[in-house]
């Protein structure tokens, strides 16, 4: 049976590293939002305007879902490393999965703020191509920090919480 895993967590929690690991474990196709945004839109970005980014993130989400739906219909597994900052964003994909008779699994990664900041700093320095798409500045980290909505118990019904 096909599995759809939505990986969420605040900045620096290790979502991409976890996504790579779970894909190897369950033979899944991974989609990460960062390389899509970097490849398609980074050269067009003139400032860090949240509404401009959200519009483009939504376009990527739509295309990623079209491909994911095909994989899932063939009984393949998909891991979505799309940030999923808000409950509303997660619910969109949970509802899309329900239409395919799939219970989406929300995997919530959490870690203390200081650990996450250290992870981001290390990633910015090392620039490992498997997990690095662009530099996350302190301003970006601080901007996103209050925007992450922790999944509630109902969202985690088919998923899990991972404390890093």
Residue range 4-163 forms a domain whose CATH class is alpha beta
**Strands across the sheet with 4-8, in order?**
28-32, 77-81, 4-8, 105-110, 160-163
Report whether 38 contacts 134 (CB < 8 A): yes
pLDDT at site 57: 84
Mean pLDDT of 56-80: 95
| Backbone phi, psi, residue 31, to 5° | -120, 125
pLDDT, tens digit, 9 for 90 and up, residues 14-66 = 899 999 999 999 999 999 988 888 888 878 877 667 788 788 888 999 999 99
Question: What is this structure's pTM?
Answer: 0.85
pLDDT at site 84: 92
Q: Say yes or no to pLDDT of 13 above 80.
A: yes
């Amino acid at each position: 049976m096909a599995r759809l895993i939505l990986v969420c967590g605040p900045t620096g929690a290790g979502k991409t590293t976890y996504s790579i690991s779970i894909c190897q474990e369950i033979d899944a196709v991974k989609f990460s939002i960062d390389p899509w945004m970097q490849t398609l839109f980074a050269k067009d970005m003139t400032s860090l305007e949240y509404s401009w980014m959200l519009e483009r993130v939504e376009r990527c989400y739509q295309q990623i879902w079209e491909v994911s739906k095909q994989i899932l219909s063939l009984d393949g597994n998909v891991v979505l490393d799309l940030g999923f900052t808000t409950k509303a964003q997660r619910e969109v994909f949970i509802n899309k999965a329900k239409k395919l008779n799939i219970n989406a699994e929300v995997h919530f990664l959490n870690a203390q703020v200081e650990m996450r900041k250290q992870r981001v700093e290390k990633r910015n320095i090392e620039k490992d191509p498997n997990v690095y798409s662009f530099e996350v500045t302190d301003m970006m980290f601080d901007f996103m920090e209050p925007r992450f909505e922790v999944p509630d118990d109902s969202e985690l019904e088919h998923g899990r919480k991972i404390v890093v």
